[in-house]
Structure 1
Amino acid sequence: MTKTPKPAPRPGRRARGSTTGRPIMVLLDLLGRRWVLRILWELRGSPLTFRALQAACGGLSPSVLNSRLSELRDTGIVEQRIDEGYALTEQGRELLSQLAPLTAWSEKWARSLA
């Protein structure tokens, strides 16, 4: 049985946790999908080809990677560059910079639990 992929989340459309499609809820739906954060993390430097990105993510099936990349392209966070592979767009880089405070907080939190 083939699973129908979820459409890429869009503000204004129903999303997991929101019937109204509030932008923050749509973003959290997208970021909460399996492998999305890892893909974004691996693309933080230079562009990666499909195979290089799959290897960097370790254990990610080609079909799931293809699905996630499609969602991330549809939402303007990742782009596919000819002869370079996949890369973060300006919006994608801005999104990662907005996540930096969460990284700092999580490290502080982890130390407090140690």
Structure 2
Amino acid sequence: MNWKSSFILGAVIGVIGGYAAKEFISKKTKVSPEKVLEYVKKQFKESGPISGSWIHMEAVPYEKHQFHYEVYKGGISKNNNGTNEQYEFIADAYTGTLLDLRRLPEELAS
């Protein structure tokens, strides 16, 4: 093989490799639900101990302010001065970012 055909072969392989790398990097991958729950629990623990937590293991569609997301839904329970408080959260499945959090009323938390 002469230097011209080696150069062309190398260039073609480089272009194909670059395209494959670009496609691999640009694919979105979801954060595991366990990691999302770990992150949310860490945030809650900053204001006191938690007594329980859960997360739905499958991402579901969600819309907020006309933006569409795939999200994990979950919950956290904590004891605050003898009162059991429960919260529901919604977190982005690709970044783990907390998108929504709401405290459940006491009658639903029991």
- TM-score normalized with structure 1 length: 0.22
Higher strand share: 2
Higher helix share: 1
- TM-score normalized with structure 2 length: 0.23
Which of 1 and 2 has greater Rg? 2
